Amino acid sequence: MLSGPLEGVIVLDFTRVLAGPFCAMILADLGAEVIKIERPKTGDDSRAFTPIVKGESAYFMSINRGKKSVTLDLKNPKGREIALRMGEKADILIENFKPGVMEKLGLSYEEFAARNPRIIYASCSGFGQYGPLSEKPAYDLIVQGLGGIMSITGPDKNTPTKVGSSIADIFAGVFTAIGILAALHHRESSGKGQYVDVAMLDCMVAILENAIARYVATGVTPEPIGNRHPSIAPFATFKTQDGHINIACGNNELWRRLCVALNRPHLYEDARFKTNADRVANWADLEPLLQEAFIECPTEKWLKEFDDAGIPAGKISNIADVVKDPHVLARDMIVNVVHPVAGNFTLPGIPIKLSMTPGKIKSPAPVLGQHNEEVLTEYLGMTPDDVNALEEEGVI
């Protein structure tokens, strides 16, 4: 059986921290051979991020699984030449330095394409390769703020809130993977590689969906409204006797069922709440009436009632709940790997389920420089003595 749909595809991963490594991890999970190029001695910045497990970063291990680590001093002429020679064998190159850095190193798309016209060279940066902000440094928090997502997240307009996960980085990684796969498909017919430019800020704008639509349609700037939906009601979080519950009623039939399940059938007949538009417009009246009902019973009782009635509902799981959730486990979304230094380590699984060529987590994240000899002898024909000499010179 194939190890994944990208088996045989070779990726040079020059990325660090999150967006780029997440992209490369997706490709590794789908079967690609991902060779992670890191600085000698220190490696990817995220190797120093806490928490540390037996000397290895849990952060790093969570997003660099399935890769091989090769250390390379890209400022050294010998290191640069090794990188370019590896590019001759590669299908894909991914980098997420500030625009201009790879060019200064002599490792631009043009340099690699001159030796390998089939290479797909992807740059994942904060603000893209052109535009007024292109050279500005970027981190997830900065981009979430500039991208508008914080202006619509949180309890109210006085409390702009970042999303708990680093979604500016994550979405940039996902969109970069999509761009790479599109370029890979195009290469099948054209024989030519191309350059892929993905910006974190662009990705944040792309996922604003109904916020931009509402602004364009109404001219009113959207503001944070907590957990309720701006266009659907009831679609919100409510307190129960012992916790909280999420409810999503996207049509009038679900609204009717909810009124019955809550033992509040009169709300369905109330003229203020007859249509979805009415319920959205009169949410200030409706919310306390619903909250009065929800507080009467514990979460689990409501969940059973709503499941029986076919009403979309769910509890709010914490991370400890998620990692032992029966459905999550049934979908192989919590996976254990054995790291050579850290030992047993738990990771999120692969969310893309393919029937004929399923992906798999091939290996844990690599130790820094773990695959120097393996990769350099296999791909560049070096001898172990050659590799030792490069290490002594500080090239690797």
Active site residues: 229
In 164-267 the beta strands, taken as DSSP E runs, fall at 195-199, 235-239, 244-248
State the Rg of the chain over Cα: 25
Residue type, 241: Q
Give bridge partners of residue 197 from the DSSP assignment. Answer: 123
Q: Are 224 and 151 in contact (CB under 8 A)?
A: yes
Quick one: CA torsion of 386, 391, 394, 396, rounded to 10 degrees?
90
Q: Are 153 and 163 in contact (CB under 8 A)?
A: yes
DSSP state letter for 367: P
Other beta carbons within 10 angstroms of residue 155's beta carbon come to 11
Other beta carbons within 10 angstroms of residue 141's beta carbon come to 12
Residue partners of 258: CB distance under 8 A and separation at least 6 = 234, 247, 249, 306, 309, 311
Q: Shortest CA distance to 261 belongs to which of 217, 298, 219, 305?
A: 305
The token pair that represents 366 in the structure block: 């690599």
Per-residue exposure over 156-181, b if at least 16 CB sit within 10 Å of its own CB, e if not: eeeebbbeeebbbbbbbbbbbbebbb
Q: Look up tokens 């709440």; give the residue.
A: 273
Other beta carbons within 10 angstroms of residue 284's beta carbon come to 7
How many whole angstroms separate alpha carbon 250 and alpha carbon 211? 18
- CA 211 distance to own-chain centroid: 21
